[in-house]
Structure 1
Amino acid sequence: MSLAFRPNVSIVDTDYGSVLLDERKGRYFQLNPSGRIVVRTLLEGGDSEEAAGALIEEYDVSRERAEQDVTALVEGLRAAGLVTP
């Protein structure tokens, strides 16, 4: 599963993660550093397993926890209408 933001969504990296702007609604969303890792992996064409692997490598969490976090983040982005279907 790769990821693509809708054309009206901008992403900017910060010292503390990333900020997403939904220009259509004028709403901002904050991603923490682990969220940034997941989003960048998926935007670069990686799948959910690769995103979970990146979290495991960076934070030494279990595969199960990493996979749950990736799924939750992607579902949240979809629910907010930030990514393409």
Structure 2
Amino acid sequence: MNKRKKRSWGLIIITGALMMYLGTVLVKQQFIINSQRQQLKQIQENIEQEKELNEKLLRQKEEIASKEYSEKIARESLGMVKNGERVFVDVNQ
């Protein structure tokens, strides 16, 4: 009978230790999962921001390639005019 008590106590101790080990492993795993979910969320937000920036740059590229934009830059930056246009200069400024 004494051996049986020792065996049952040993089994209880081993089972308890195993359960504690599994508990700590599960908690650590949950922390890792939460951390990776947060990283995934941040990466998805970065992807959305980059997509918006890409769309903006594509619109700017189309605008820059247009004839109207070229004329605007030629007039404003280079002071160029079309043939036959009259240029008036305000001498009071």
Normalised TM-score (structure 1):
0.24
Q: Which structure would you say has the larger Rg?
A: 2
The structure in which a higher percent of residues are helix is: 2
Higher relative contact order (CA 8 A, sep 6+): 1
Normalised TM-score (structure 2):
0.22
The structure in which a higher percent of residues are strand is: 1
